[in-house]
Amino acid sequence: AQSVTQPDIHITVSEGASLELRCNYSYGATPYLFWYVQSPGQGLQLLLKYFSGDTLVQGIKGFEAEFKRSQSSFNLRKPSVHWSDAAEYFCAGGGGGADGLTFGKGTHLIIQP
Amino acid sequence: KAGVTQTPRYLIKTRGQQVTLSCSPISGHRSVSWYQQTPGQGLQFLFEYFSETQRNKGNFPGRFSGRQFSNSRSEMNVSTLELGDSALYLCASSLANEKLFFGSGTQLSVL
């Protein structure tokens, strides 16, 4: 069965420090992979996506993610976080076409001053 | 370009009632998907419509249904509401169901 796992429920990072949010997937083939961010009471905003090609993907707001087939991972990174990055982050995977996305449970990012 | 619009923003219903939620996709997008978000289960796929046809459905009971109109607007309906149906219902539109654009959601509370 397809699955996406985010091992960390909460992550606390100091403002200005680097960030890495983990995501592991389990799919029969290489899935389409996404990272979304959700602020309280809001919908989801796409940060970046991986379909194929270059395994290092650049997204909005200074985020990037690296697809590693050998580790079945698609971790999200940012070199220096800002207080406004505090939110819920979701990793998602899909087979494309009419398949719905499978979301991880999310990682709640807390930024310390 | 206007984003995905969901109405109403908040809804309070009682058990046994039914509810209809509306979603207007981004202009030109023909695919509309619905997701349920709860603290316990996270985000779960409900169904996806493309050109008025349901192409895929998640693992939800038949009380959850939807439709899409010729202008790509979509509605989802939940009949015989249960307490466990309380959730944030998110609609997403896309050109080709790969890059989803989400609305702000409808927060449904069932009392």
Is B60 at the interface with chain A, CB within 8 A?
A: no
Write out pLDDT tens, residues B37-72: 999 899 999 999 999 999 989 999 999 999 999 999
d(CA B1, CA B22) in angstroms, rounded, equals 19
Q: Is the peptide bond before B8 cis (omega within 30 degrees of 0)?
A: yes
Q: Which residue of B has its CA nearest to A42?
A: B104
Percent of chain A surpassing pLDDT 90: 76
- pLDDT above 90 for A76: yes
Span B5-13, average pLDDT:
96
The better pLDDT of the pair B68, A26 is held by B68
CA–CA distance, B57 with A94 (Å, rounded to integer):
14
Residues 1-30 of A with CB under 8 A from B: none
Mind giving me the DSSP string for A3-63?
Answer: EEE---SEEEEETTS-EEE--EEE-SSPPEEEEEEE-TT--EEEEEEE-SS-SEEE-GGG-
Q: pLDDT tens, A42-68?
A: 889 999 999 888 899 999 999 999 999
Interface test with A, best of B23, B32, B34, B43 (most A CBs within 10 A): B43
Tell me which residues of chain A, numbers 42 to 101, contact chain B at a CB-CB cutoff of 8 Å.
Answer: 42-46, 49, 51, 90, 92, 94, 96-101
Residue B46 burial (CB count, 10 A): 22
Contact B107, B91 (CB under 8 A): no
Residues A19, A21, A25, CA angle at the centre, nearest 5°? 155
As beta bridge partners, residue A4 has: A25
